[in-house]
A and B are shown apart, each in its own frame.
Chain A
Amino acid sequence: QSALTQPPSVSGSPGQSVTISCTGTSSDVGSYNRVSWYQQPPGTAPKLMIYEVSNRPSGVPDRFSGSKSGNTASLTISGLQAEDEADYYCSSYTSSSAWVFGGGTKLTVL
């Protein structure tokens, strides 16, 4: 099972919007809505930001949104804030009854 493909890095200025893509295959992202996104500031454990493609857990700001089209899922962060600077990972359920993570994307707030 190959890792999902994410851009290594993205950046944006405070107040702007950024989108992080997560590309899989028809055996994972394309076939299941069990796509989730995690935020990981340096030296900390991952935190769930989006579940089931587009749902936010309680406490996650509505600046964070998720979507999916075909084999690609996306995380959009609007109104960027300095505190959003972190690594972001997507994850999907797979046809092998397993889970796979993306390679991670480093978000820099300029």
Chain B
Amino acid sequence: QITLKESGPTLVKPTQTLTLTCTFSGFSLSTSGVGVGWIRQPPGKALEWLALIYWDDDKRYSPSLKSRLTITKDTSKNQVVLTMTNMDPVDTATYYCAHRREYQLRAFDYWGQGTLVTVSS
């Protein structure tokens, strides 16, 4: 059974750096084809894809946010970490992590419950 869970601060101040951790179980990020991505959703708005890391450490970023994002993995801990610098109130959103398989399905097939991050002074 695949599960993912996001964790991190619920409140950050403008200009600070946000660090979110996705802790997962039921799969290994060392398995060929597997990836974990981050997607966010501002209150009442649409989903926005942020970043993805693959089993082979290939990393992809949203072109519009690339300069602010860093995604890393710790395979031994079953964790993926996303950092976003220079946070702004417009970055207030629920942040989700999700599992992906590139050789099958090729979609985000399992999602975490999401964590709401508010950016405010």
Q: Hey, which chain A residues are within 8 Å of B108, CB to CB?
A: 36, 38, 46, 48, 91
- B61 A98 Cβ-Cβ under 8 A: yes
Contact of B49 among A48, A51, A100 (CB under 8 A): A100
- B105 A52 Cβ-Cβ under 8 A: yes
Given the contacts A1-B62, A1-B63, A46-B96, A101 and B48 also touching, CB distance less than 8 Å: yes
Distance, CA A50 to CA B109, complexed state (A): 10
Q: Hey, which chain A residues are within 8 Å of B105, CB to CB?
A: 51-52, 55, 57
Residue A69 CB within 8 A of the other chain: no
Residue B68 CB within 8 A of the other chain: no
Interface size range of chain A in the complex? 20 to 34
Residue B112 CB within 8 A of the other chain: yes
Residue B113 CB within 8 A of the other chain: yes
How many interface residues does B have (CB within 8 Å)?
23
- B63 A89 Cβ-Cβ under 8 A: no
Residue A41 CB within 8 A of the other chain: no
- A51 B106 Cβ-Cβ under 8 A: yes
Residue A45 CB within 8 A of the other chain: yes
Q: Which residues of B contact A (CB under 8 A)?
A: 37, 39, 45-49, 52, 60-64, 96, 105-109, 111-114
Selected A-B contacts with CB under 8 Å, 16 pairs: A1-B62, A36-B106, A36-B108, A45-B112, A46-B108, A48-B107, A52-B106, A52-B107, A89-B46, A91-B108, A93-B106, A97-B60, A98-B60, A99-B49, A100-B49, A101-B39
Q: Which residues of A contact B (CB under 8 A)?
A: 1, 3, 34, 36, 38, 45-48, 51-52, 55, 57, 89, 91, 93, 96-104
